[in-house]
Amino acid sequence: MLQTPSGGADTGTAPAGGRTMSIGTVLNLLRDEFPEVTLSKIRFLESEGLVEPRRTPSGYRKFSQSDVERLALILRMQRDHYLPLKVIREHLEALERGERPQLPTGRQGEQQGELLDPTAEGLQDGPTAARLGRAELLAAAEVSEGELAEWESYGLIAAAGDGGYDSEAVTVARLIAELGRFGLEPRHLRIMKASAEREAGLVEQVVAPLRLHRNPQTRAHAEASARELATLSVRLHAALVQTALRAQAH
């Protein structure tokens, strides 16, 4: 059970009945159970609307005891059930309505997280198998054999060692086809592939210590952290592209 501090100016607490805490105090409380949590993680969960701390007139966050307990619940659902934020949000909303929703456990939760992960939204209306055959990929992405062969020659899509394709290949193929409608050829897209590989390498650097942690739950949480980092990376990339486009337009 998380315990809040008794009060004091350095914690940003208020009188009894309305006690609040600074984000630094919240971080210290959560780290007892969640050693991998960071300030950025808490801010990210706030940006996603999963927790809404009170703000002072000067803009400082002030977390209540219920905010801290909500954060702990969110982190447990990620760590123990491998759930993505979309499913966590739905679960919290059900709790607020007075319902008693059941959480998936074990591999069931991990699979649900894979299928509903925000970085793979394009797959929700397509095949959800871990591996696709070549014919399945062509049918799901609605592309020709010649197009797929060309994209493979540029390294934009690649089959695994067993000859199958990850489900993300459907999204990649669809996006390449859409970009082609604007005149972008596979050779133009190699720079995007190189950028994605660099971003993936950066994400791996961040989660690598979690994979090596002594706590097995922390090691299991590495995949959820990687997915969230990927989501943030995609959002940042989109924002930077929009910024660059606006700068070039002036």
At 20, which CATH number?
Answer: 1.10.1660.10
Do residues 95 and 132 share a domain? no
Residues near 136 by Cβ (< 8 Å), separated by ≥ 6? 127, 129
**Are the CB atoms for 81 and 107 separated by under 8 Å?**
no
Would residue 167 count as lying in a domain? yes
Would residue 158 count as lying in a domain? yes
Would residue 156 count as lying in a domain? yes
Domain hosting residue 79, numbered range: 9-108
Rounded-to-integer distance, Cα 32 and Cα 235, Å: 30
Would residue 1 count as lying in a domain? no
Rounded-to-integer distance, Cα 50 and Cα 57, Å: 22
Task: Going from the first residue of the chain to its last (250 residues), give the mean pLDDT of each consecutive group of 10, the final group possibly shorter.
Answer: 45 50 93 86 88 91 94 88 82 89 57 39 38 85 91 92 85 90 90 90 86 75 81 86 87
Do residues 128 and 192 share a domain? no
Do residues 205 and 121 share a domain? no
Rounded-to-integer distance, Cα 247 and Cα 186, Å: 26
Do residues 174 and 242 share a domain? no
48, 76, 108 - which closes a domain: 108
pTM recorded for the entire structure: 0.49
Do residues 130 and 209 share a domain? no
Do residues 99 and 13 share a domain? yes
Do residues 102 and 14 share a domain? yes
Residues in the chain: 250
Would residue 242 count as lying in a domain? yes
Would residue 2 count as lying in a domain? no
What is the number of domains present in the chain?
3
User: Measured between alpha carbons, how far is residue 92 from residues 23, 62, 71, 89 in Å?
Assistant: 21, 21, 11, 5
pLDDT at position 127, please?
37
